[in-house]
Homo-oligomer: A and B are copies of this chain.
Amino acid sequence: MQEVLTGKYGEDSKLIYDLADQGGEFLSLRYDLTVPFARYLAMNKISNIKRYHIAKVYRRDNPAMMRGRYREFYQCDFDIAGQYDPMIPDVECVRVVSEILTSLNIGDFVIKVNHRQLLDGLFEACGVPSDKFRTVCSSVDKLDKSPWEEVRSEMVNEKGLAPSVADRIGEYVRLTGKVDLVEQLLLDEFLVAESKSARDGLEAMKLFLKYCTLYGLQDQVSFDLSLARGLDYYTGIIYEAVLLRESIGVGSIAGGGRYDNLVGMFDPKHKNVPCVGVSIGVERVFSVLEARIISSKTKVRTTEVEVYVASAQKNLLEDRMQLCKELWDADIKAEHSYKHNPKLLAQLQYCEEMGIPLAAILGESELARGVVKLRQVATRQEIEVQRETVAEAVRDLLNKINEQS
């Protein structure tokens, strides 16, 4: 229902797709997986859960195919919901992102982190009225794509901040570092004296970075005061993963944070369940991996077929079908031509193109002698095996080929 999404996304709400009214129901397509997850927890009265979810979301935005930005795209979300001690689930989410990106072998990355309470405290200390915190957050969030001068101009001219206020924000949001930056800011008289929220945020960040080190994440995590995240619902730690060297400009490939007040918006008694989670942009990851595969000119197999059943003469379709059945029954991935009388050369060329390691070649004289030829496609080596034990022989040969490579 449309009302599920209303008032959850702030300035991004204009990107929601609505459905036509075809009978009195006002529906929208989901914008992300976080809001539906929060609604699910509230509706089913679930007070703790850890889960992942891969599914499509929809945004009425300008697509950029090459950079993996679509209107209909997949997200992979991982969330931990429940009343727990500070920062323990929060740092696990970062570890999960780190493991995923490392195992994808997608290249060096950094996970930028910041804290909404620190940002709010910073805005407070700089003199931003509290009803403008979220909209100023949206402006700060653009710093990854726009220079400070543009963001400052938006703050002053569109959001109505005094130029001096914007300038004070600007001094902070360009800072990045590690735990030493947290220590330095904790000694910053202006920030810490003016705002309890900033102090709390910094203390939380200090604990978070300590846990990051325990989980082996110290080199991948960067404390970055320009990270703001556009969405309204975050209440604590926020993160965003970016690749250090990628040429196609996908931007961040994962992002998330803590959202402790979202579940309560769907509960009749406004009972909250604290949550923290992260979302990976599947198409962005694919775009980067695809660009890498193309530039490295490595060949990627598009099927897992292990053996191709070929025929050397005409009228052997039924023999091919019979052998395929036996191979399938033995859990071997087999395929044969969909043509009645395919040419042998065409069949063997297909094996080479598709990278199929083995061909089982049926011939009249061989069948008369009760044997079948097995051909290693790469080496063109051929052996004869008994017709009754082809599946076994194929399995042995595949194991041998796998060991060699």
Contacts and interface: CB of A to CB of B under 8 A. Distances in A.
Contacts of A92: 338
Contacts of A19: 17-20, 29
A309 B336 CA distance: 50
A318 B214 contact: yes
Interface string A57-94: 00010000000000000000000101011001100100
B89 A338 contact: yes
14 contacts: A18-B19, A20-B20, A20-B21, A22-B60, A29-B29, A84-B338, A84-B339, A85-B317, A85-B338, A85-B340, A88-B338, A95-B325, A214-B321, A215-B325
B338 A80 contact: yes
A95 B328 contact: yes
The listed residue with most B CB atoms (<10 A of its CB), out of A88, A321, A338, A339, is A338
Contacts of A80: 338
A353 interface: no
Given A19-B29, A95-B325, 5 more contacts: A50-B303, A88-B339, A89-B338, A211-B321, A214-B322
Interface of A: 17-23, 27, 29, 50, 55-56, 60, 80, 82, 84-85, 88-89, 92, 95, 99, 211, 214-216, 303, 317-318, 321-322, 324-325, 328-329, 338-340
A100 B278 CA distance: 33
Contacts of A329: 216
A100 to B, nearest CB: 12
A99 B328 contact: yes
Contacts of A338: 80, 82, 84-85, 88-89, 92
Contacts of A84: 338-339
A63 B218 CA distance: 50
Contact of A325 (B50, B89, B214, B322): B214
A85 B339 contact: yes
A92 B317 CA distance: 13
Contacts of A211: 321
A308 B165 CA distance: 50
The listed residue with most B CB atoms (<10 A of its CB), out of A56, A214, A317, A324, is A214
Nearest to A103: B331
A325 B216 CA distance: 7
B18 A20 contact: yes
A216 B325 CA distance: 7
A328 to B, nearest CB: 7
A353 B266 CA distance: 29
* Closest CB pairs A-B (n = 7): A84-B338, A18-B20, A214-B321, A85-B340, A88-B338, A20-B20, A215-B325
Contacts of A216: 325, 329
A282 to B, nearest CB: 13
A303 B55 CA distance: 20
Nearest to A28: B20
A84 B340 CA distance: 8
Nearest to A341: B85
Contacts of A29: 19, 29
Nearest to A322: B214
The listed residue with most B CB atoms (<10 A of its CB), out of A20, A92, A325, A329, is A20
A50 B335 CA distance: 11
Contacts of A324: 215
A214 B21 CA distance: 52
A73 to B, nearest CB: 12
Nearest to A56: B56
A43 B324 CA distance: 33
Contacts of A303: 50
A321 B29 CA distance: 39
